[in-house]
Chains A and B, each alone.
Chain A
């Protein structure tokens, strides 16, 4: 990552203006603007707060309706069972913020599980050798797609679609069948539990990694030049270019980061499933896009938060948990409810977009 922590030209520009021409009427200092509306919630945070409210409501509903729902472990399981989705969600958020899309994430997960399983089981590599290699493969895969998209002005949709076919096809080249992993390191990491409370609630390493990636994503988005450039590209690529931002480099980096996230999610998925299989994570890219959209990120790019994606993932997870707790509903209701949620959130997004005059 070439992202530098804070202090890029963009953030300094208004400050410099203020010191040079303190009485400039059109550029009030930011502190002054903040003091004008002290108690009101910034309109930008409304979608994010909506997502969190939906999550809280769903959690409340489940806690009232089903006994045993309101326990720390149920909520930790949301993270444990969706750790991989959360990690690709972070990468996908950046891609969507930049105005693109990445359809290859699910199949990169499958490829990662497959390569890991083949290396560990058939070639007797150690986990310490296999994991860096698969992370490098995923990152390189993302970088390649980014270069194609950026250098040759190809549509992200089609490039990542081809990438999706390629990664799944490569899985089948390795093996058609599922390879189960019996390597002691993998099984140890898979079963490792980190106790959090005295009542036995615990969390897996994968879930911790997911939380770490969310933290990294938030830092990248709001405290680095890279993050600000991503928002700028999503808002208007032409303007970003005119501002002299490194659009080309950032676009490639966005897909590289998504590739890295997919590979890391693949590693977590390998721990979760303890097998490599070409049919792992089929359709997961759509769940990731759904999580990002439910999290309040606009698909047109430029608006959204990584934290929203975390809650988007948690909402998808809690719906599954609710349906599992109910017991009488079949699994396909999950898809229908997710579709309905997507619909409601997109309608709300349209409402926000039309109320706010866009320049």
Chain B
């Protein structure tokens, strides 16, 4: 019991459970799942599907934050990756030999690889600026955040590029074994990362860098190389999220795709119990954080509160979680609870 109470995923888990309970109360059909055309349908599945891109970005962000960094360019990278994929696939409906077939500009595999390579290159740029040049992470990634949005707009010509190529839609809309395919992508990335972090020394290395970069370097870690790799992975994960999002909406919008996503991702990581000061991190916590954010959004829609309140509620949640993480606040809280009792006793 004591171990359970001390578990670091307890609070994110309780938050998510509370949100789900609120949903179940206000919306009796919340937990109902329907099997239609070989797919599962229901509010929970919907939340999972929509949380997948955010979870992907949050996973990359977790590792970056674990090394004491931050990557505020992920939203722009999402937009760039989506734009590259949409541009290269393009696609049109052609009638060939009397049969309607979808034709893409480049083979889909090439387009997807290109988008992911571009996203990873964006990460490499960030990583080099942080690890080699020695810039502060927030300012290094601010450069790409500002310029990247412009690059995405340049690629799309400031327009929304529509994709007409059905196989591409599978990424964001397809189903596998009854579940949305995007969930499998997020789960696979999490699985690989989890294996890397727990079964190899990489997780330990990343924590060591986050706790004390200088000590990690003195201990013989290739601190710079690992830091660069972490940023590359963060860019890559944002690229995957960009593909899922553009596939889901069947278009790429250079102006708005991934807008404010960096903030949601940082929020998800914080909600999951990873401290922004680096060091100990929790991948599962970040996934939980992404689910909390998506559930919160769905809850707000489903209980009939105007969606505009979403941001206020999100802010309130952040303030509460933040204060609970603060040792000073917990001490003050204990003081407020204990002191009146003690004063009463003295009288």
Contacts and interface: CB of A to CB of B under 8 A. Distances in A.
Contact of A165 (B136, B150, B314, B332): B314
B150 A299 contact: no
Contacts of B328: 151-153
Interface of B is mostly: helix
A155 interface: yes
Interface residues of A, number: 45
Contacts of A153: 326-328
A330 B158 contact: yes
A159 B320 CA distance: 11
Given A299-B139, A332-B150, A350-B134, A158 B145 contact: no
B286 to A, nearest CB: 15
A169 B142 contact: no
Nearest to A163: B315
Interface size class of B (residues with CB under 8 A): 35 or more
Contacts of B70: 157
Interface string A162-179: 111110111011001000
A257 B254 CA distance: 35
A286 B326 contact: no
Contacts of B315: 162-163, 165-166, 169
Given A158-B322, A172-B311, A300 B136 contact: yes
Contacts of B136: 299-300
A293 B138 CA distance: 12
B37 interface: no
A170 B147 contact: no
A208 interface: no
Nearest to A339: B147
Contacts of A11: none
A155 B133 CA distance: 25
B311 A154 contact: no
B122 to A, nearest CB: 12
A335 B147 contact: yes
B266 A161 contact: yes
A245 interface: no
A209 interface: no
Interface in A299-317: 299-300
A133 interface: no
Interface stretch (A27-35, A259-267, A341-349): A341-349
A254 interface: no
Given A163-B315, A170-B312, A173-B312, A340 B147 contact: yes
Contacts of A339: 143-144, 146-148, 150
A334 B322 contact: no
B266 A289 contact: no
7 contacts: A152-B332, A155-B277, A166-B315, A300-B136, A335-B147, A335-B149, A342-B146
Interface of A: 101, 148, 151-155, 157-159, 161-166, 168-170, 172-173, 176, 278, 286, 289-290, 293, 299-300, 330-336, 338-340, 342-343, 346-347, 350, 354
Given A158-B276, A300-B136, 5 more contacts: A152-B329, A155-B276, A335-B147, A336-B147, A342-B139
Interface of B: 70, 129, 133-136, 138-140, 142-151, 153-154, 157-158, 254, 263, 266-267, 270, 276-277, 306, 308-316, 318-319, 322-323, 326-329, 332
9 A-B pairs with the lowest CB-CB distances in the bound complex, closest first: A339-B147, A335-B150, A169-B311, A172-B308, A169-B312, A166-B315, A332-B153, A165-B315, A336-B150
